[in-house]
Amino acid sequence: MSSRSLNNSVEETNNNNNGPYYYYSTNNEAKSSTTFHNNSNSNANPNEVHKFSSFASHWWDSRSNPLVGMNPIRIKFLRDVVDSFQPTAGQGSTPQPIIQLPLHNKRILDIGCGGGLLTESLSRLGASLVVGVDASTQVVEVAKRHSFHENSRLVLPSSSELQDGNGLVETSSSSSRDIRYIGGITVEELASNWLQKHEQEKSSSSTINASSSSQNHELFDIITALEIIEHVPNPSSLLNAAKSLLKPNGILLVSTINRTVKSYGLAIIAAEYISGKVPIGTHTWDMFWSPEEVEQMICSSSSSYQSYGNDANGKMKQIALSGMVLQPPFINMEWKLDGNDTDVNWIGAYQKQQV
């Protein structure tokens, strides 16, 4: 993959003229951003992408977007899971800081990041790198603009990352925090790009074998796919691609809406047609998924995407599950976690097993 010198901006174009292009800018209007173009085989429904693109300007408005009120309990669930199943390990004999943020030194991929609600929260909790991916370039533009908030802690890609061409390989110190937004691409395309990159490196490398630990370093400790699988044509494809980008022991978090009579009444009739809290047409009941169906897709199906590093099988195990319940008075849009009620909104965690 060719590279050009860094001036005010750098554009990286792959060798295939039909492929995506990568654009970084050192000016403040496009800081820490990347733009991709989808191909015709993308696992993205154009109607769904248009729907959320038209909603982009209201993304951070709690009166219009229920995810604003839901975000704190999603974060609580994630923190509880990480604390229990992926505690931060000490490095050698170096003592850990007395005060350490919950996601210290974690690399996280946020699939369907939208306007950056979850992405920014993950960065503030100490993640060294958070990559936000969304098929809509419009909502990613909203995320980029909002990220200039002082707590977003954006930093620019280094020159070596620009030359690498994908902008996702962290080369700075682990103490830095970095958000990268990628618009107009699906996670399947992202996984395919990474596979192609590693295959090119393997064929051109002067060493016999690339280091598994080095490849694993470029993968993610945590991947989130929250409120996204009910909006794509092929959820299994999205989940398999996500699994392929997880490190061994990595955790995939998925949330969606269960396909029940109750969910039809609350998530569609009440939310869209009665209260107007959600735009009419946001959800399609037939595209809702039960916890059992998602567990089957993640833990039982074989991935069509190659795993990197030393974890070729990529076997997954469900480790946590909870409902996300809207509390009365419903107009306040306040949520709570409830392990006994997954009838409507729910969230699960799945861990890639060591082999």
Beta strand 21-25 with 9-13 is antiparallel
Q: 45-67 pLDDT, tens per residue?
A: 999 999 999 989 999 988 888 89
Q: Please report the pLDDT score of residue 330 as a whole number.
A: 72
Mean pLDDT throughout 286-299? 96
Would you say residue 125 has pLDDT above 80? yes
Mean pLDDT throughout 142-161? 61
Would you say residue 185 has pLDDT above 80? yes
Q: How much is the mean pLDDT over the chain?
A: 77
Mean pLDDT throughout 176-196? 86
Are the beta carbons of 155 and 177 closer than 8 angstroms? yes
Q: Read off the amino acid at residue 68.
A: V
In terms of pLDDT, which residue wins out, 89 or 186? 186
Q: Please report the pLDDT score of residue 115 as a whole number.
A: 95
Name the pLDDT band for 294 (thresholds 50, 70, 90): very high
Question: Which among 188, 213, 210, 185 is positioned nearest to 199, based on CA atoms?
Answer: 210
Name the pLDDT band for 170 (thresholds 50, 70, 90): very low
Mean pLDDT throughout 223-237? 96
Name the pLDDT band for 275 (thresholds 50, 70, 90): confident
| Lowest-confidence pick of 18-22, 62-66, 231-235, 339-343 | 18-22
| Lowest-confidence pick of 108-122, 207-221, 283-297 | 207-221
Would you say residue 237 has pLDDT above 70? yes
Q: 63-116 pLDDT, tens per residue?
A: 888 899 999 999 999 999 999 998 765 544 455 555 678 999 999 999 999 999
Q: Which residues contact 314 (CB under 8 A, 6 or more apart)?
A: 243, 244, 246, 303, 307, 352
Q: Please report the pLDDT score of residue 223 as a whole number.
A: 98
| Lowest-confidence pick of 149-153, 242-246, 290-294 | 149-153
Q: Which residues contact 168 (CB under 8 A, 6 or more apart)?
A: 129, 131, 161, 180, 194, 218
Q: 295-314 pLDDT, tens per residue?
A: 999 998 555 555 554 454 56
CB-neighbour burial class of residue 222 (10 A; exposed 0-12, middle 13-18, buried 19+): buried
In terms of pLDDT, which residue wins out, 19 or 338? 338
CA distance 217 to 169: 9
- DSSP label at residue 20: -
| Lowest-confidence pick of 82-96, 133-147, 181-195 | 82-96
DSSP-assigned letters across all residues of 64-125: T-HHHHHHHHHHHHHHHHHHHHSPPPP-TTPPPPSS--TTTT-EEEEET-TTSHHHHHHHHT
Q: Please report the pLDDT score of residue 313 as a whole number.
A: 53
| Lowest-confidence pick of 134-143, 151-160, 202-211, 238-247 | 151-160
Q: Read off the amino acid at residue 52.
A: F
Name the pLDDT band for 158 (thresholds 50, 70, 90): very low
* pTM of the shown model: 0.78
Q: Please report the pLDDT score of residue 198 as a whole number.
A: 72
In the numeric block, the tokens 């060493």 are attached to: 207
Name the pLDDT band for 168 (thresholds 50, 70, 90): very low
In the numeric block, the tokens 């946001």 are attached to: 282
